[in-house]
Chains A and B, each alone.
Chain A
């Protein structure tokens, strides 16, 4: 099977600091790949080089077999790579429907397109469907989302990605800053997505979560990829040792 996403020998430097050092990885259709590592290991930088926020200094990215180079995040989105950022990229002053359709609003046309108004009913109904399909229920979709909880906002961000047919979903610490019940909700959502065959790169610190939802995991340490394992072939103790640098597959033992 061909990988959906293929990163080859990626390097990203910030001045003298090598934040991502010669990392390669593949993501296949329908799998959840976890990306782990201590703070500052280079996880966020790596995925930002994929999603068009940063530009890699070296290396290539192949998406669906094609060599791609995104100069802006929107180009990655247009290809179907949706990123759920830690800060979510939602407009808190707008309601759920407005956020799910942000930048891609649906319009009604009058006078042969001379006057175009927002089709709020349609967007609301579609948003409801997108949320329903993920098993998420809000009492009122027309409230500005600043009135929602962190987990509910997370759900909106995920529903947005799903609605726009994400072919690859990248989640950077999606359960950060959430209460325990809400973390569980997000994990449920990740499982739902996986069942639908949407591949996911999941960045997280929480080992039990990762073991609960991932198929494969990759550990980074100081910019380098130090191991890659199937979940069934490893355990939390071993992974912790990789994370702190005690184990390293690239090093002569």
Chain B
């Protein structure tokens, strides 16, 4: 469908640009492309990417979900509360974490279900429904968390959110975390690199599942069909209402996973953790080439979009550029991305008719 060659090229040039400019501005003391920095970038994009994944599904189906950021916050609070309660009632840590995960996913999924039912069955525009539910969800999250951070989680939670698949200590060798946690301090700890942190692994699994669903299954085909021509989908007997509800549930569930992961990472639940992420998630989706009119776009596009945003943000920070420049740059890229797509469509259109 839409090729994202320029986006890959842009990402590549961005990385080269930051590698060189970070070298120059720090007189060669700081390297942009270290293992540690690359892993930091990966961890940094997981929330934006997860929200963007759900958003991708919904937007391909010609909808929009404005509630994802606040659903993530709600899920963070829910998972922290459930995890703490489970652990305090005597359950083992691993089981408590699983219960925290379920609380996040089920709670978030319920919000998505309500969004979907109101949109599909009562025919209220998605923009309005998810705008309204954003406020409601935000209120509920603040109520549940009693307007503070949910703390008092078992200490071991930290490992789930910050350990990785692989560790590597320069000069000492490496190993797999789940076989044996490296117990190091001081200089060794400073020299230790972690590769593929668990949040990244979980996010990659979600990416894989959604790529599969969109490209290989009937569900994916119907998502494109509904976004491409709703009338055709209805006349060919696709269960449109049910499908739309599923899309909003999935969108909320990916936001719920993001909330769960943030609870693990910070060993705390926060009712405001996702507040700022809605716009970033939509930006990632648009840079990735998903059409806001529906019917077009890919998950890999959204992955690149998220990567571009994360590389930009991290790179600018390393260049000591003041934080607000990030917003200006990301905003410019969003608009440029759409301009590039439009001019390409125009050229291809001319080639077809000419």
Scan residues 1-50 of chain B and give those whose CB is less than 8 A from a CB of chain A.
Answer: 1
- A117 within 8 Å of B by Cβ? yes
Complex: chain A residue closest to B227, CB-CB: A93
- B238 within 8 Å of A by Cβ? yes
Q: CB distance B232 to A89 under 8 Å?
A: yes
- A103 within 8 Å of B by Cβ? yes
Return chain B residues, CB-CB under 8 Å to A116. Answer: 217-218
Which listed residue, A73, A93, A107, touches B235 by the CB 8 Å rule?
Answer: A73
Q: CB distance A91 to B229 under 8 Å?
A: yes
Q: CB distance B236 to A89 under 8 Å?
A: yes
Return chain B residues, CB-CB under 8 Å to A77. Answer: 235-237
Return chain A residues, CB-CB under 8 Å to B228. Answer: 91-94
Name A residues whose Cβ lies closer than 8 Å to a Cβ of B: 73-74, 77-78, 85, 87-94, 98, 102-105, 107, 116-118, 144, 147
Q: CB distance A91 to B218 under 8 Å?
A: no
The complex places the Cα of A116 from the Cα of B220 at a distance, in Å, of 12
Q: CB distance B216 to A102 under 8 Å?
A: no
Q: CB distance A94 to B221 under 8 Å?
A: yes
Which listed residue, B1, B229, B237, touches A92 by the CB 8 Å rule?
Answer: B229
Complex: chain B residue closest to A101, CB-CB: B221
> Smallest CB–CB gap between A42 and chain B, Å?
21
30 contacts between A and B (CB under 8 A): A73-B234, A77-B237, A87-B231, A89-B229, A89-B231, A89-B232, A89-B236, A91-B225, A91-B229, A91-B233, A91-B295, A92-B229, A93-B224, A94-B228, A98-B221, A98-B225, A102-B233, A102-B238, A103-B225, A103-B236, A103-B238, A104-B236, A104-B237, A105-B218, A107-B218, A116-B217, A117-B217, A118-B217, A118-B221, A147-B352
The complex places the Cα of A93 from the Cα of B232 at a distance, in Å, of 12
How many residues of chain B get a CB closer than 8 Å to chain A's CBs? Answer: 22
The complex places the Cα of A116 from the Cα of B222 at a distance, in Å, of 14
The complex places the Cα of A220 from the Cα of B218 at a distance, in Å, of 43
- B71 within 8 Å of A by Cβ? no
The complex places the Cα of A100 from the Cα of B228 at a distance, in Å, of 15
> Smallest CB–CB gap between A83 and chain B, Å?
8
> Smallest CB–CB gap between A46 and chain B, Å?
18
Q: CB distance A91 to B232 under 8 Å?
A: yes
The complex places the Cα of A105 from the Cα of B295 at a distance, in Å, of 18
Return chain A residues, CB-CB under 8 Å to B296. Answer: 93
Return chain B residues, CB-CB under 8 Å to A107. Answer: 218
Return chain A residues, CB-CB under 8 Å to B233. Answer: 91, 102-103
Query: Known contacts A116-B218, A118-B216, A118-B217: does B227 contact A103 (CB below 8 Å)?
Result: no
Return chain A residues, CB-CB under 8 Å to B221. Answer: 94, 98, 102, 105, 118
